[in-house]
A and B are shown apart, each in its own frame.
Chain A
Amino acid sequence: MNKLNFLRPDIKNLNTYLYSGIFLISIAILDVISNSFFNTNITSFLPNFISFLLPLVLGTVGLHFIRIEFSGIKNLDLLNKNINTNTFNAVLTLLITFAVIKSIPPFLSWFIIDATISGDTKEACTGTGACWTYIKIWLNRFIYGMYPNELQWRINLSFIALIGLAFVGLIPSDKIKKFLTLYYVVIYPIIAFVLIYYLISGGAFGLEWVETGAWGGLSLTFIVSFFCLIFCFPVGMFLALGRRSDLPTVRYISVGFIEFWRGVPLITVLFMSSVMFPMFLPEDFFMDKLVRVIIAISLFEAAYVAEVIRGGLQALPRGQYDAAKSLGMGYWKMHIFVILPQALKLVIPGIANTFLALVKDTPLIFVVGLLEIVGMLNLAKTNPKWLGYAMEGYVFAAIIFWIICYAMSKYSYNLEIKYKTDR
């Protein structure tokens, strides 16, 4: 038997080190698990301070024992390489593991085990956990706002139709493919506008009129982001072209416009649209609050879109411009047929990121009194029948937004990879 040196474990006594190390680590983890799941402290015979730090010390020593290079055991080498390269990393690894073990029971008990979802009133929520009953009762409001219950099929129908129409591009027919750009840039927005105007707003074809003040919840979030996206894109494109223009007047006006919107916070823009903008309209000209907000956000986002598109325009090699000019193309022909198709393809990920920011900004419209989902939460929170469930509401909204935004960011990331390999 070789001499054991516990300060410098080596491969000669691999098994001894391995077993003692694993033993120490398992004691450490057992201690934390018993502490967090069963609320018992198995080291309570020790002084308070030592008992608290014991798992960390034991775990560090244990990880030190098993840190043997080229042990020949595949899993051990993998473990050492990834989470156990030195003492500092070992301590961090243990801290993270312990933190996760510690936080699982309280989280689970609040979220699922002690939570309530049955019943229709506040009285049903007697447990110490979350009160999902609150979400269940208010779900309708969170999604449709104050929109009349019996008319909600109109919102559903128009959204389903819009999603369905968005997939037209997947039809693998060459005849249709020619017109896809035209379809997405011009026809689709018009269809969307008509659908939302006549179906959700009503007032024609025997449909009951629903004022925009009653719109709200998640559906309003979608409506606002959707319209802002389709309006800000063309404006941003023209601004980007204007900024790259040879004509000084056009360039300076574009630069001024872009820098103005990029320099102010969205909340002041919304304030402007709600209190200052009506002053600039002709006397008895009334513009709906929702329309004003959509215009304001579109102009605001257009400045950001413009900068993204400008990046794409700048990234194109000069030869593309020269080649187009040498073919005798004018400014517009060159941009429509040569420059923009390439540049826009380059900036799709950037546009997706801007749109992500736009979706995350929509809750701000609650400052002007439009109640999308966050605004509805604040309204529900102050309802005297349901006081004290702010946490559940925010967690619910956070989950919804997180899913939407995470999916979008992953999608834009995939696009980025896809288009990077193309060039």
Chain B
Amino acid sequence: MNFKLNKIIPQLATLLAVILVFGFLTYNAQVNMDNRGIEFGFGFLTQESSFDVQFSLIDYDGSHSYARAYLVGLLNTLLVAFIGIILSTILGVIVGIARLSPNYLIERTAAWYVEFFRNIPLLLQIFFWYFAALRALPLPQDTEPMFGVFFLTIKGLFVPRFVWENLDIFFYSIIAAIISIVVIRNYARKLQENQGKQLPVFSISVSLFIILPLLTFLIGGVSLNFSVPELEQMSNTSFKYKGGLGIPPELIALTLALGLYTATFIAECVRAGIQGISKGQKEAAASIGLTPRQILKLVVMPQALRIIIPPTTNQYLNLTKNSSLAAAIAYPDLVLIFAGTALMQTGRAIEIVSITMLTYLSISLSISVLMNWYNKKIAIKEK
């Protein structure tokens, strides 16, 4: 009896404390909202938002609803996160491998890169790129094109836009290529298990991936044109680019800063992963006659990835969360559009801040659930 009470009383006390705190807070909120005459509810989401957003991936203007504005912000956040993840992965892997280079100069350069960018607050880096570096770029009318088609100006980067015809056929061909690659891989594995023969799977896959989509240009009626940005004079002093794709400077500064900053952490993960493989593994693999490429592919990488991937995913999550700093340079992401503009207009602090937090929370939680599943899958099965 005494033993059980020992377990129940602390639990009840904790529960009671939590309920009391929550109850106190909601009671206050109720009183405050009554005083200001606002009702708790999410009806405002369907109202007309009546504010414009400078940069959006989907069709949006002031006549759309707040829910649509939320979607615009979410997509912009995901866009930054996506570009940042690609950039930081490429850079991080290169720097991480460079940290292990036998070349002293390369190793030092990579180490300094990591120490430099890791120890400066991200916000400062974003400000630096946006307010200092990108502001030093020339005006559109003074810009010299790079390679004839890219224009890097103070108003952003202008690149040619793809103009597709029959894009869907091209798309199907890529899907077909992926499916056939998977089939061939399975077949090759079976062949090796049953007869010990090896197919050049990699070269077959690459050639399939290139040839199939190329074929659609010849026989599928797919064609690709570029709409190159051209400078157009609106008035004496105002110039604008017509055609092409304009990437706003906010997006450039943000992805650049996020990419450079997160790459330092990913580089450390990669370095730790590769260093974590003991030399004996490589020597054992070499002694049973595997070629250096096979050693890398079959022995080192599978083990290194097991160490690298979990902390790297954590960094991706951090990057996604850090992309909320976009609000500081007025890039229209979820925080700026929804927790900024929409909140100012509607005054619904509780609803909007909760929705924003829940959005980030669900992104984080879903990725960590995925991560746990993956970790379980690749964990070494001990006998």
Contacts and interface: CB of A to CB of B under 8 A. Distances in A.
A135 interface: no
Interface in A348-371: 360-364, 366-367
B203 interface: no
B137 interface: no
Contact of B124 (A264, A267, A374): A374
B271 to A, nearest CB: 14
Given A260-B361, A361-B121, A401-B120, A279 B11 contact: no
Contacts of B127: 374, 377-378, 390, 394
Interface stretch (B101-109, B147-155, B208-216, B370-378): B101-109
A179 B45 CA distance: 58
Nearest to B354: A276
Contact of B11 (A248, A260, A366, A406): A248
A402 interface: yes
B273 to A, nearest CB: 19
A96 B365 contact: no
B40 to A, nearest CB: 10
Interface stretch (A24-32, A45-53, A82-90, A180-188): A82-90
A371 to B, nearest CB: 13
Nearest to B116: A402
A391 interface: yes
A246 B325 CA distance: 39
A265 B322 contact: yes
Given A93-B105, A405-B120, A263 B365 contact: yes
Contacts of B324: 265, 267-268
Nearest to A378: B127
Interface in A225-250: 246-250
A364 B29 contact: no
A381 interface: yes
Given A93-B105, A279-B33, A398 B120 contact: yes
Interface in B323-356: 324-325, 327-328, 335, 339, 343, 349-350, 353-354, 356
Nearest to A97: B105
B339 A268 contact: yes
B135 interface: yes
Interface stretch (A7-15, A120-128, A280-288): A280-288
Contact of B121 (A259, A271, A360): A360
A140 interface: no
B189 to A, nearest CB: 33
Contact of A374 (B104, B123, B356): B123
Q: Which of A260, A279, A282 has its CB near the most chain B CB atoms (within 10 A)?
A: A279
A289 interface: no
A275 B353 contact: yes
A390 B121 contact: no
Contacts of A406: 115, 119
A409 interface: yes
B60 interface: no
- Please tell me the size bucket of the interface on B: 35 or more
Nearest to B361: A263
Nearest to B360: A264
B90 interface: no
- Please tell me the size bucket of the interface on A: 35 or more
Q: Which of A85, A276, A367 has its CB near the most chain B CB atoms (within 10 A)?
A: A276
A377 B126 CA distance: 13
Contact of B103 (A93, A249, A282, A409): A93
Given A82-B103, A259-B365, A275-B353, A401 B124 contact: yes
A391 B131 CA distance: 8
A102 interface: no
A130 to B, nearest CB: 11
B265 to A, nearest CB: 11
Given A250-B10, A402-B116, A283 B124 contact: no
A398 B322 CA distance: 18
Nearest to B106: A92
Contacts of A259: 365
B14 A253 contact: yes
B288 interface: no
A101 interface: no
B199 interface: no
B97 to A, nearest CB: 12
B35 interface: yes
A353 to B, nearest CB: 11
Contacts of A92: 103, 105-106
Contact of A89 (B11, B103, B132, B136): B103
Given A394-B131, A406-B115, A89 B28 contact: no
Q: Which of B120, B121, B360 has its CB near the most chain A CB atoms (within 10 A)?
A: B121
A57 to B, nearest CB: 19
Contacts of B182: none
B41 to A, nearest CB: 15
A82 B343 contact: no
B160 to A, nearest CB: 25
B89 to A, nearest CB: 20
Q: Which of B135, B354, B357, B364 has its CB near the most chain A CB atoms (within 10 A)?
A: B357
B121 A279 contact: no
Nearest to B115: A406
Given A401-B119, A401-B124, A406-B115, A268 B335 contact: yes
Contacts of B14: 247, 249-250, 253
A262 interface: yes
A397 interface: yes
B32 interface: yes
A135 to B, nearest CB: 14
A272 interface: yes
A60 B109 CA distance: 20
A397 B349 CA distance: 33
B128 interface: yes
A381 B29 contact: no
Contact of A271 (B33, B109, B124, B339): B339
Contacts of B136: 391
Contact of B7 (A82, A247, A275, A282): A247
Interface string B8-23: 0011101100100000
Contacts of B7: 246-247
A43 to B, nearest CB: 24
Given A96-B109, A265-B324, A381-B131, A89 B364 contact: no
A246 B32 CA distance: 39
A9 B133 CA distance: 47
A250 B8 CA distance: 11
A75 to B, nearest CB: 14
Given A85-B103, A265-B335, A283-B35, 13 more contacts: A81-B102, A89-B103, A249-B14, A250-B11, A259-B365, A263-B360, A264-B361, A271-B356, A279-B29, A279-B350, A360-B121, A390-B135, A401-B119
| 8 pairs of A and B residues whose beta carbons are closest in the complex | A263-B364, A405-B119, A265-B321, A249-B11, A391-B132, A263-B361, A265-B324, A82-B104
13 contacts: A96-B106, A249-B11, A249-B12, A249-B14, A263-B360, A275-B353, A281-B32, A360-B122, A374-B127, A378-B127, A390-B135, A405-B119, A409-B115
